[in-house]
A and B are shown apart, each in its own frame.
Chain A
Amino acid sequence: MIKRLVADFILFFSLFIFPWYWTAVLVFVFIILFENFWEAILAGFIFDALYSIPSAKIYGRFGIFTAVAAILVLLSKIIRKKIRIFS
């Protein structure tokens, strides 16, 4: 639980401080490390809210980051169901 809170904290601050691709890498890593990492979708929404513009067709359109994050989280759920890790 503490690990997850630390991850959330790092992700939240990276949204506003680090280049966007660092945040994207963090989201990807956290989705792999944590089960049901719904915070990724919130991070996508924050990106969309702060940086999307109304006139954009695809590039810069609202929803791109949220959708990608949601797809990644759902994919991780499906993949987790299919594979079994022995430690």
Chain B
Amino acid sequence: MMTKSRLSRKRFAGLFLVALFLLAVFNGSVRNFFVGAGTAVFRPFLNFGGSIINWTDNNSYILSNKETLSKENTDLKSKLAEMEAKFLGYEILQKENDELKSALARPDKNDFIFAYVDSRPPQSPYDILVIDRGTENGIKNGMQVFAYDNILIGYVSEVFGNSSKIKLVSFPGEETNAILFSLNNQVIVIGKGGGNFEIKMPKSVEVNTGEKVVTLGANPTLLGMIDKIEINPSDPFQKLYFRFPFNLQELKYVTIKK
């Protein structure tokens, strides 16, 4: 039988924890304290988990011949996707290069920081990446993050000593200014989660699948290619859908633009 004082002490502890939790949810600095402490304690496990995932990816071929072929097939597909993505990026770079040359060849002084991805969807429940570089490596909030050097995938959203969180541009509701490459039409790309995007634009604009979507700005980078077009007769707008031109689950490293 629990005594009255023990029961009230338990209730008090419960209420204290609930109050602390509510404070963390609604107060930014308290939240940052808990998130910072939690990240410091549990990130080594995340890193360890990432190593196990990589190890199993690299050693599963030992188990059987069929799996070896399957793994090789996956690797080749991944490499092919990388090459295709790079090739698409080169086309944009070529155009950009020509434009720059015509504008007295402005020198490019971009510097990048290389980082390994500790966690990515679907380990991560949101469209968030956790990387192994932080303030100690010069990472700052808002820096652009790229996959395969030329595909914009997101922005640094939170930085710790030796890790950072990347909010992907496909994060639900995230808006990115972009252009349809060959049409030169400015659009707003809306993240739909899981590496998917949506563009809403007037039906009168003729768009084909395969159309490249690139970011708007001085250094345009590839976001993806239109996969699906949805036209509803009762809607004056058409919806264009696309996804990242690579598999998010196979993303091992990223580069961060200084």
Contact = CB atoms under 8 A, between A and B. Distances in A.
Contacts, number: 91
Interface size, A (range):
20 to 34
A53 B172 CA distance: 13
A20 B31 contact: no
A53 B158 CA distance: 7
Interface residues of A, dominant DSSP: helix
Binding site secondary structure of chain B:
helix
Interface stretch (A25-33, A62-70, A76-84): A62-70
Given A46-B38, A50-B38, A51-B124, A61 B45 contact: no
B125 A20 contact: yes
Contacts of B125: 20-21, 47, 51, 65
Contacts of A9: none
B21 interface: yes
Contacts of B38: 45-46, 48-50
B128 A49 contact: no
Interface of B: 21, 24-25, 28, 31-32, 34-35, 37-39, 42-43, 45-46, 48-50, 52-53, 119, 122-126, 128, 130, 157-158, 165, 167, 171-173
Interface of A: 12-13, 15-21, 45-56, 59-63, 65-67
